[in-house]
């Protein structure tokens, strides 16, 4: 029957702890860069999908800085009906 010595168990535990804390430190410093990389990648993927679906967004010409157009929605002259409906009083029954 095989028995593990105390030093072998201690070595195994120390290696596991060293790997754990090493990865923890690496992710603390390189995690934000890794996350930023994946976010840019997903952004490009979503932009590509949007451009395929809707034909993309076209930048306006930079030469037309002096020309301003404002389109306004015409005001509607609706008269509001003050009589909304019939109000009913309810009484509680014991």
Mean pLDDT per 10-residue segment, the chain (94 residues): 86 97 94 94 93 71 66 72 73 82
Q: Which two tokens stand for residue 66?
A: 């002096």
Phi-psi region of 55 (alpha: psi -120 to 50; beta: other; left: phi over 0): left
Model pLDDT, residue 36: 94
From residue 50, alpha-carbon distances to 20, 42, 46 in Å are 41, 12, 6
- pTM for the full predicted model: 0.41
Q: Tokens standing for 82?
A: 């003050």
Question: Residue 50 in contact with residue 56, Cβ under 8 Å?
Answer: yes
Tell me what percent of the chain is helix, strand and coil, each rounded to the nearest 5: 50, 0, 50
What number of CA atoms fall less than 13 Å from residue 65's CA on the CB side?
Answer: 2
């Amino acid at each position: 029957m095989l028995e593990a010595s105390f030093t072998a168990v201690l070595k195994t535990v120390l290696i596991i702890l060293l790997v754990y804390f090493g990865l923890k430190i690496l992710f603390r410093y390189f995690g934000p860069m890794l996350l930023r990389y994946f976010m840019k990648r997903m952004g490009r993927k979503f932009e590509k999908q949007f451009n395929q679906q809707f034909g993309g967004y076209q930048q306006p010409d930079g030469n037309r800085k002096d020309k301003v157009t404002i389109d306004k929605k015409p005001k509607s002259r609706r008269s509001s009906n003050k009589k909304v409906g019939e109000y009913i009083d309810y009484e509680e029954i014991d």
